[in-house]
Amino acid sequence: MFTDVQDVLQNYRDAVYEQDVEKFLLSYAPNVHVFDCWEEWEYHGIEQWSTMVTEWFRRLAEEEMKLGVEIHKEAGKENAEMAYVHGSVSFAALDQTGKELRKMSNRFTFVMEKIDDSWRIVHEHSSLPIDMESGKAIFG
């Protein structure tokens, strides 16, 4: 149970690092709607999201790496039933010794709702700015 919005963010960081699909999905509502900046643009519901997350973690395991997550410039607001958090997030690919192999950042927004007394993400939006001349994403 996530009694605090920060609990959801900590679970996200921990679950990504541990590559634990079940733990990761605990942060999400069954009817979650995700706008992602990788592969598919949009996911409807926990089943579609689970498929993407399972594949993401499988590829990381295949490469024998962990993914460290840092959330930056976090801001948000909450009331008794709804909350939002936005900022940027960095993902650092780490080898077995903890050495950073590569790193990228993107922007995020989480909209959360209290469901059975626990915060759950009902909408997630991640994005990257686009260079207008080249049309390519900027991994800042």
60-84 pLDDT, tens digit each = 999 999 999 999 988 999 999 999 9
13 DSSP 8-state letter:
H
Residue 137, pLDDT > 70, answer yes
pLDDT at 140: 64
Instruction: Output the CA–CA distances (angstroms, integers) from residue 45 to 24, 101, 107, 121, in the order listed.
Output: 14, 33, 21, 11
Q: Across the chain, what does the average pLDDT equal?
A: 93
Mean pLDDT (whole number) for 1-17: 96
pLDDT at 39: 76
Instruction: Output the CA–CA distances (angstroms, integers) from residue 86 to 26, 39, 53, 114, in the order listed.
Output: 19, 22, 21, 18
What is the distance of C-alpha 134 from the center of its chain? 27
Helix (H), strand (E) at residue 45? helix 45-62
This prediction's pTM:
0.91
